[in-house]
Amino acid sequence: MINKIVASALLIASFSVSKAQKISLPKVFADAEKQTQVMLTEIPKAKGGNAELVSPRTLEDGKLKLVPSRDWTSAFFPGELWYLYEYTGKKEWKAEAEKYTANIEREKTNAGTHDMGFKIYCSFGNGYRLTKDAYYKEVIIQAAKTLSTRFNPTTGVIKSWDNRTKWKYPVIIDNMMNLELLFEVSKLTGDQSFYKIAVSHANTTMKNHYRPDFSSYHVVDYDTATGKVLQKTTHQGYSDESAWTRGQSWGLYGYTMCYRETKDKAYLTHAEGIADYILKHPNLPEDLIPYYDFNAPGIPNEPRDASAASIMAAALYELSTYSKNGKKYKDAADKIVENLTNSYRSKPGESYGFLLLHSTGSKAQNSEVDVPLSYADYYYIEALMRGKRLKEGKKLF
């Protein structure tokens, strides 16, 4: 594995020294369509008759790995299909998006997880945004009701994981990504309880997850009797005190979105602080595609994380529309997208149809290291779509 990481680092570094080349969006999306057709052909083969497996997640031992709907990554492929439909307007992509989205519906009542935003909003949320299907709306509303059951008024936050012996009431920075579902349903229903839960979670997380330099802890554990913080740790980063890069991207995306939904300038200031921490970090490579952790000890021979970069780019595009430093953030997003496109994409017809290579799921568990990941592809396509809208002079939301 180490030799593979070093080889990947050298390959990526060879692209980092030159300026990012401009990309042709029609060509990128044409390639994405071809790759997704490959994926659609490979999924039935990988299922092996197991109806519970509904969506691609990664490559494992060189083979396509599918996951059931309960997996937190299950909705990224349906979401990607919705984006392809949005870009192309082709009915065949809409049909595939509807098919793969339907596979996730059972999750709307799964109260055993905080990943409701990832699963329902990336699939049904995009579907509703593009079709205004009333049934999709009802699924979204039910999902928000389910997610709300995981909120504890004493701690002020939504619990992330159940049945973990290491923590009593763990909250991970990733959980910021589920708040968009609550904000949306508050608008759809007029019920302010969803809004209040989202704001409470964002405020409490801003207070307890973040260090003075705007870097974030991964996991914060709470005492449900007092609401006090018990411990601050990591699960996927290098160490408890390190800055796991995808976690920094989740926070950047989450607080930018919170500003959009509330217009609370504290969130904008916080998002700008996170963005500047990331972009000014001495261990951020020249091509802006980060290592899996900003404090990983073996840099530059550590695995990159294209998923963190994709999330970061999507967030920076939105942040650029709110911030007085907007040009700086948009330029960074452009550079990330250009470098992902030019240096991190799979070759056409390869990698079972995944779009991006060189992501890292959890280096701490030696899991999904230097592989494609479905959420890297999803946020890459989202970033491309956001960049397109800005170039056309259109609003993102």
Is 331 annotated among the ligand-binding residues?
A: no
User: CA nearest 21: which of 353, 383, 337, 378?
Assistant: 337
Contact 186, 229 (CB under 8 A): no
Question: Distance (Å, rounded) from C-alpha 373 to C-alpha 114?
Answer: 20
Does 264 show up as a binding residue in the annotation? Answer: no
Backbone angles phi, psi at 58, to 5 degrees: -165, -170
Q: 276: annotated binding-site residue?
A: no
**In contact, 289 and 342? CB cutoff 8 Å:** no
φ, ψ dihedrals at 183, nearest 5°: -60, -45
Contact status, residue 158 vs residue 114, Cβ threshold 8 Å: yes
- Is 115 annotated in a binding site? The answer is yes
CB 184 within 8 A of CB 177: no
Q: Is 82 annotated as a binding residue?
A: no
Any idea which residues carry the catalytic annotation?
A: 115, 174
Instruction: Name the residue type at position 121.
Output: Y
Give the contacts of 329 (CB within 8 A, at least 6 positions apart): 275, 316, 317, 319, 320, 323
Tokens of 310: 């994709």
DSSP assignment of 222-286, as one string? E-TTT--EEEEE-SSSSSTTS-BHHHHHHHHHHHHHHHHHH--HHHHHHHHHHHHHHHT-TTS-T
Beta-carbon neighbour count of residue 166 at 10 Å?
11
| 346 among annotated binding-site residues | no
The H helix count followed by the E strand count for the chain is 14, 9
**Residue set of the binding site:** 115, 174, 234, 246, 250, 362
Q: Which residues are documented as binding site for substrate? A: 115, 174, 234, 246, 250, 362
